[in-house]
Structure 1
Amino acid sequence: MKTMKYLAAAYLLAGSVAQAQTVTADQLAIAQQGPALGWATVEGETTGGANAAPEQVFVVSTRAELVAALGGDNASNASNDTPAIIFVAGTIDLTADDAGNPQDASAFADPDYDLDAYIAAYDPQTYGFEAEPEGPLEDARERSEQNQKAHTMIRVGSNKTIIGMDGARIINGTLLVKRVENVIIRNIIFEDSYDFFPQWDGTDGSQGNWNAEYDLISIEEATHIWIDNCSFSDGARPDDHLPPVFGRVKQHHDGLIDIKKLANYITVTDNRFFDHDKVHVIGSSDSRTENIGHLRVTFAGNWYDNVRQRTPRVRFGEVHVFNNLFTPRADGPYSFSYAFGAGKESRILSEANAFEISADIDAGRIFRHYKGEIAQDSGSVVNGEALDLLALYNAANPEKPLADQVDWTPPYSYELADPATIADGIRARAGAGALSEL
């Protein structure tokens, strides 16, 4: 095999020059690929860093090296639109300091933040359920959260490909793809976007809830994005790793991939999402009517395993979900709630998806109404049997029906595989590690 060597770094990190590493011709060729289908192929191409000059091909294995390869200053890296291909090698912990040492909550906590005092102050039995927390302790929590965000939320600029070598992992933080275009992320294990400082909100639902801030990948005001062959989970700290507080799960994770304000032309293919609660929100608020005409997203070939909800939950967008595999569970910390959430003015088109569910899960719960009026499913199977998922939903929810016919057609070519036969192939193909020569 011919080997091509590129200078992986020419900057100072932690007092020493990072080592140049080898990238093979096959690895580079894979990194130069773009999506073959979906919304990311519409109204222009999604090429990521395919046009990167040799000096803009990097191999990184620490947070500091990743930030440097993205431009050098995390606060301003989103404005760096120079094409680059960034190979991730090994495990990058986004809490790590510049010397590579992982950090815990104490590194980010405001001096006035005290968890025990926070819990005592906002106990709903005394504080009540009528208002969100206010006051010095909540202000200190917010400052702590901002400290963590500034360090663990890594900003990605336009025209970038971030691709993992074999076994690559990015843990304990977020890739933020905001106000940019043309980004590709492939073949990486993402784990545990852990919020050290979740907020209690007694007004959230009838019993209140703890809410976390961070997704593993957050996309906002960004266009032409492809996420492919990655794995996403809560990692070693599942939602039930700590006891409940105020009788509610103390949630430390938000989404796996969330796609929000004005994002558009996005394809998500061949990923594995597992052991998590809230997977994808498409559109963050019913009030953001500017999202009409945006939030066009394709999900294809993904495996949703032991996840609870939002696969996806959509507001406004034209979202195409086809040939995915869903294997939810009826019990445990991620017990199944629903798959497709039809939110305000959403247009979910589901085609030829495969669900493997136990007798404890009613197929009428696959769709859920969130102020939406319309959705469509055709050709999907449940335990190998073709079922009319919208009819099942409507029969169970006559007070909140969903009309079964969306008013759009995907403007790209695609082929539907037989959903009764896709499960084994998706299990073998979905997630990090399936791309050869990486």
Structure 2
Amino acid sequence: MDFDIGIIPAPVFIGLVLLLIAFSTIGMIPQELAMVIAIMTVGAFTLGEVGKRLPVIKHIGGAAIIVTILPSFLNYLGVFPEQMTAAVGDFFSSSKILNLFIAAVIVGSILAMNRVALIKGFAKIFVPLLTGTICALTLGMISGTLLGLGAKHTLFFIVAPIMAGGVGEGAIPLTIGYSSVLDMSQGEALAMVLPPIMVGNVSAVLGAGILAFIAKRKPNLTGNGELQPGGHKDITESALQKYALSVQNLAAAGMVAIFCYLCGVLTHELLGWPAPIVMLGIAIALTLLHGVSPRLRDGANGLYKLAITALAFPILFTFSMVMTPWESLVAGFAPANLITCVLTVVGMIGGGYLGALWVRLHPIDTAVVVATHSGMGGAGDLAILASANRMSLMPFAQIATRIGGAITVVLALIAVGPMLG
């Protein structure tokens, strides 16, 4: 019972596997939370253990990579019973658990972060984000043009979608704009931009894993989850020891996260502002204005650790299983498209690395953050940071994904009319 498969004691893991087989055999998969949790955790941590043991890939974040990609393929093959997929899919869509997970990680990590690192990191992150975007645009355009895709097609249907911030907040508004200007339906446009988005996300996950591998060989290039070198704690260890982690502190920090999240949701409904950015802003304000007591700091640290330990892999597994069509991934592997997508992401990561050296941030950690600008929104951020084992960088990743994505969408919609209309 003291040997775990992920977070599940080994005998319980075996029992859950047998129970899932039994429920599938009799054709009765109850659509209740306990069943969904069992499916998500057993599936996620089984694949995670496989990824940790595969030759070569285990050194570049293999667990996160396998959990991000393989469930989509297994679902395509029909490995998962239809009732099982439906139960998990309905829960994932209706519960908005991905949003709540991101709230716990963002608010937990920011409230637990020292103020000096927070201020300096956010002030400097925009420089490597800009250099990464410029390099990605340059490499992607050159590649697409040389491979016969055409400069304009490459810009609007490969490079811009990769940097648009995912599907819901990137591809959807992008394709709505394209359909109003170009002679195509939104469905046609969406079918063209989805494969580059997914392949770009997979490329960024692999790139982040490679960066983590380099970090182990060159520890002077990384802050192991911190952007700013030489950060100083603004709270003494004795103050933290006074408030040992307790259920009360953990629950209190969780309620702060829910408060910040709901403020973001309300602001989005009233003003249309991105909810994660509003939530991020509130958490930052609380930290900068000394609104976080030592006990809440301790609880927030526990909340963050609980989220990444218990929820990260199950959410990645579920997103891949029910929200990532394998056909779209395969479509993106046409040679010209694949090379262009990969080089776009390479440019993003390389440009972010160079920009970090310029503003004196840890280059590997900064490059991982900039790589999330190539991801599929919140789920992409999760996969990329998990691959690099840098989940504490989620607040900065949200800046790259949300703000960087919104700017990309706006600029692409401004340019598409004059260039293609």
How does the TM-score come out when normalised to structure 1? 0.21
Task: Please state which structure has a larger fraction of its residues in strand.
Answer: 1
| Structure of higher RCO (CA pairs closer than 8 Å, 6+ residues apart) | 2
How does the TM-score come out when normalised to structure 2? 0.22
